[in-house]
Amino acid sequence: MDVNAEITRQRIQPDPKNLYAGVMLILAIDTALDACAAAVLDTSAGGVIAQESQAMKRGHAEALMPLIARVMKASGVAFTALDRIAATTGPGSFTGLRVGLSAARGIALAAGKPVVGVTTLTAFAAPIVSENDEPHPVLAAIDARHDHVYFQVVAGDGSSLIKPRVAPIAEALDAARFGAPHLVGNAAEVLANRWPADAPPPVSVVNLPAPDIAWVAWLGAAVDPETAPARPYYLRAPDAKPPRDPLLNVTQPFPS
């Protein structure tokens, strides 16, 4: 399933009438960036019934499983009652991605449930696209260090204008040619501060350290497990050297 097309078709919002016609219980996990988060979404209840998010740059491995345990306890939902597990797949921290995806796949295997992946760029862009009543583009950007960003640009209706890539900040700023955008992601302020003076200014700047875990859950309910695998989505080779683990050596194709 094309996630951007799904956003466009269903105008995804945290409301089961607009997102998913069936009933699902989703455990969502995010450790891709500067947060460790989990949530349980009950689509029949119309929203997240338990969630927790802790800001952190490192230490995800130690924090995640106790955090998930607390969220599951608060939700009153057994692991075996879940319909699906969703996890962010990147771009993001190499180590953080390993922690979240390994946990998601392990829980899915133990509970006998499917597991799906949601890219961080899509999770950043989705809530803005869902509320974007005017045709302003949405530029989602993540700090890639060394004056580079991971970014993608979608039109106001969610269709792709620039597919996900890693590039110098100057290249991302060239998206000004599409008109005044919404900027979102942990590099939104960086782009806003360097926005071309001769271009229409951004409509909004939403600088977030990590995606909203509730949106990771809603997107996890919308995607197809066959086309949204829970595998790392690398736009460039990781700085860290991976162990001999097949989970870490597969590049996930981004929904086009």
Using DSSP's 3-state secondary structure scheme, residue 222 falls into helix
Element (H, E) at 140: strand 138-145
Concatenating the DSSP letter of every residue in 74-126 gives: HHT--GGG-SEEEEE--SS-HHHHHHHHHHHHHHHHHHT--EEEE-HHHHHHH
Q: What is the pLDDT of residue 16?
A: 38
For residue 47, the enclosing domain spans 3-120+210-249
Tokens, residue 130:
């869902």
Is 105 found in the same domain as 16?
yes
How many domains does one find in the chain? 2
Q: Tell me whether residue 228 is in a domain.
A: yes
Q: Decide if pLDDT at 13 tops 50.
A: no
Tokens, residue 102:
């390994």
Quick count: other Cβ atoms within 10 Å of Cβ 238?
15
pTM of the model: 0.85
pLDDT tens per residue across span 95-150: 999 999 999 999 999 999 999 999 999 999 999 999 877 789 999 999 999 999 99
Q: Decide if pLDDT at 35 tops 90.
A: yes
Q: Tell me whether residue 171 is in a domain.
A: yes
Query: DSSP state, 251?
Result: P
pLDDT tens per residue across span 213-246: 999 999 999 999 899 999 999 887 655 555 554 4
Is 159 found in the same domain as 53?
no
Instruction: Please indicate whether residue 255 or residue 129 has the higher confidence score (pLDDT).
Output: 129
Omega before 91 cis (within 30°)?
A: yes
Is 113 found in the same domain as 43?
yes
Question: Residue 134, class by beta-carbon neighbours within 10 Å (0-12 exposed, 13-18 middle, 19+ buried)?
Answer: exposed
Q: Tell me whether residue 49 is in a domain.
A: yes
Question: Residue 159, class by beta-carbon neighbours within 10 Å (0-12 exposed, 13-18 middle, 19+ buried)?
Answer: middle
Omega before 242 cis (within 30°)?
A: no
pLDDT tens per residue across span 61-109: 999 999 999 999 999 999 999 999 999 999 999 999 999 999 999 999 9
Is 78 found in the same domain as 25?
yes
CATH number (domain holding residue 194): 3.30.420.40
Is 136 found in the same domain as 36?
no
Q: What is the pLDDT of residue 252?
A: 35
pLDDT band at 250 (very low <50, low <70, confident <90, very high): very low
Is 100 found in the same domain as 216?
yes
Please state whether 76 falls in left (phi above 0), alpha (psi between -120 and 50) or beta.
left
- Between CA 193 and CA 205 the distance in angstroms is 10
Tokens 């209840």 sit on residue? 45
Q: Tell me whether residue 37 is in a domain.
A: yes
Is 115 found in the same domain as 233?
yes
Is 132 found in the same domain as 112?
no
Q: Identify any residues that bridge with 48 across adjacent strands, giving them in sequence order.
A: 41
pLDDT tens per residue across span 160-174: 999 999 999 999 999
Is 113 found in the same domain as 21?
yes
Is 172 found in the same domain as 115?
no
Is 238 found in the same domain as 192?
no
Q: Tell me whether residue 225 is in a domain.
A: yes
- Between CA 199 and CA 218 the distance in angstroms is 34
Query: What CA–CA distances, in Å, run from 157 to 92, 105, 126, 202?
Result: 25, 32, 11, 17
Q: Decide if pLDDT at 2 tops 50.
A: no
Q: Decide if pLDDT at 7 tops 50.
A: no
Is 43 found in the same domain as 146?
no
Q: What is the pLDDT of residue 143?
A: 97
Q: Tell me whether residue 256 is in a domain.
A: no
Q: Tell me whether residue 255 is in a domain.
A: no
Tokens 């590049």 sit on residue? 251
Q: Tell me whether residue 254 is in a domain.
A: no
Tokens, residue 121:
């760029």
pLDDT tens per residue across span 176-216: 999 999 999 999 999 999 999 999 999 999 999 999 999 99
